Structure 1
Amino acid sequence: MPSDLPTYTNQVESGTDYTIMFCLDVMNKRLRVDDYSGKIDVIYRRIVDIAKKHALTKAFIKSREVDWQALLSMGCMMEGIYKGYFNGSDAYCMAMYNDLERRTSDYWLEEDQILQQVLSLPVKHDHPSVPSNMSMRLARLEDADQLSRLYSLIFQTYPTPMNDSMYVEKTMREGTIYYLVESENQLISAASAEINSVYANAEMTDCATLPAYRNQGLMRLLIHALEAELISRNITCSYSLSRALSFGMNAVFFQMGYRYYGRLTKNCDIYDKFEDMNLWAKSL
């Protein structure tokens, strides 16, 4: 499979009075600032310049609490809160846009209706067991190929090149953990946790189940297993971005005790278009 796809490039840029750690995300035409230090007004201007230079239509910064109001006054908008992101302190998703179409949601009211349906569900405190005809385990490097095939089957487009086994293997080597469910030696469901050990947080992501095996609670099993693994590694904050149009994935996180903390407009290219993503977070 191709391993030369345009993808994330994580970069660090330092000036006399600032440092920015950012992800230049060509696939999703966005700039994501994961960390920074220095003068916030200088940082903001640099973010705007970098986004324009690379023709990126969206940029956002995971702002600390002391800075989000300053960013708001510069023209950014708050789209969500990563609760507990910085070792227990909140991060604020402060976004800016260079394109009106990217800024405008096409399905906001429908997504609101889906969210209200999700929020009316009961929270499930039980811990389901693995079905007798299936097995669940932590993924290994040699699973990268079948994981990439699963993501190729499920997603027409995806924010990262998960259809590339080389990329999947790279994420594993960099610390992302995957849990998977198999039936008769066939991979049928998987999910991952992308760990930030510096700030003790992890993003639950890459959730996929073959259509024939959906609605059997497999994703809850995987998230439970990932959470247990994260707790053992002293990770205190778990969060996830779920397609706002997907009742199922939003329901999974809500019923597992995650809270809704905002919606990121046209945040990434998933399935076949730029989609709004709901932000869910939970203290572990």
Structure 2
Amino acid sequence: MMNQSSSTMIMEESNFFLEVYLDPFNKRIRIDDYRGNLHLLLERTEELAHKHQVEKLIMKARSEDFLHLFEKSFQPEAVVDRYFLGSNAHFFSKFYTMERKKNDHWITEDGMIQSIYQLDTTINKPYPPKEYELKRADESCAEELSALYREVFQIYPTPLHEPEYVKKTMKEGTVYYVFFHQGKIVSAASAEINSFYKNAELTDCATLKDHRKYGLMKIILGELEDELRRQGIFCAYSIARSLSFGMNAVLFQLGYKYRGRLMNNCYIYDKLENMNMWVKNLASC
């Protein structure tokens, strides 16, 4: 098995290019970008999956490769509209163990999505008490951000529990907004920006339990959306825990559309969980 630190690697041969995210903690590999000979690059990808003994392989695929991936026993799980500079990305997966393919919550989670789509979307914008202060986080906030994530999430799929990792993401362009209460960070989220393909994942959403009644997360996500628009980025997506009614409801009420579910996708909160995909076109609102 790989060592426990995740990393991005580039594979180039004479007739293909691959950008691969190695994720040992979640026992998976993700293909974030590719071009060239699809048959050959899929062969190399599978070799990599077997070499590192992963349980799941994920590929962000282009629409024109949809049918070819079916032939290679990949299955579609989710879609992000306009991910590739305006073209859709299809999240395909292949599973390598029986345990990773089993799930006891699927029907329950289907029902939850139906319930969420019945919610009122005309809710007024929340205004928290004046003791709450919204700010864009900088590197001086890294220690406190890590403490927040440690408190909210027993397990998290990326090393946000470590302040140095938070600083690293900031240096690489990830934008964090936070709410302070009495000088302490009580709520946070980030936008992980892909500057080449002009999309962003809204992620790392966390609010301390005692501060969840004021709609802080909706305000933070709205601020992140404004930041993305200022940067000319209109494809926003977010991947939420399928068992978290609250976070999925927040995204729906902010105008995001449900676009599928990634089965047994990552270790988060306290176990391996399914994750729902939500997508929003920031240019249409």
TM bin (shorter chain): over 0.9
- How do 1:157-176 residues align onto structure 2 when only pairs under 5 Å count? 157-176=155-174
Counterpart secondary structure, 1:131? coil
Q: Deviations over 1:88-142 (max 9, x none)?
A: 1100001101111111222101111211111111224744344311100100111
Residue identity (%): 42
Paired position in structure 2 for 1:240? 238
Alignment partner of 1:270 out of 268, 271, 275: 268
- How do 1:112-123 residues align onto structure 2 when only pairs under 5 Å count? 112-123=110-121
Paired position in structure 2 for 1:80? 78
Provide the C-alpha distance between the structure 1 equivalents of 2:72 and 2:141, rounded to a whole number of angstroms.
Answer: 46
Provide the C-alpha distance between the structure 2 equivalents of 1:237 and 1:124, rounded to a whole number of angstroms.
Answer: 23
- How do 1:1-284 residues align onto structure 2 when only pairs under 5 Å count? 6-124=4-122, 126-284=124-282
CA contact (8 A) 1:124 1:256 kept: no
Give the aligned residue type for 1:153. E
**5+ long unaligned stretches in structure 2:** none
Counterpart secondary structure, 2:214? coil
**5+ long unaligned stretches in structure 1:** none
Provide the C-alpha distance between the structure 2 equivalents of 1:202 and 1:7, rounded to a whole number of angstroms.
Answer: 23
After TM superposition, give the deviation of residue 83 of structure 1 in Å.
1.0
Provide the C-alpha distance between the structure 2 equivalents of 1:278 and 1:222, rounded to a whole number of angstroms.
Answer: 20
CA contact (8 A) 2:251 2:278 kept: yes
CA contact (8 A) 1:238 1:283 kept: yes
Counterpart secondary structure, 2:63? coil
Provide the C-alpha distance between the structure 2 equivalents of 1:8 and 1:222, rounded to a whole number of angstroms.
Answer: 28
Deviates more, 1:68-77 or 1:139-148: 68-77
Counterpart secondary structure, 1:162? coil
CA contact (8 A) 1:146 1:187 kept: yes
Provide the C-alpha distance between the structure 2 equivalents of 1:85 and 1:126, rounded to a whole number of angstroms.
Answer: 30
Counterpart secondary structure, 1:128? coil
Give the aligned residue type for 1:184. Q
* Aligned residue-pair number: 280
Q: Say what the alpha-carbon RMSD is for the aligned residues.
A: 1.2
CA contact (8 A) 2:76 2:93 kept: yes
Q: Deviations over 1:219-239 (max 9, x none)?
A: 000000000001000111000
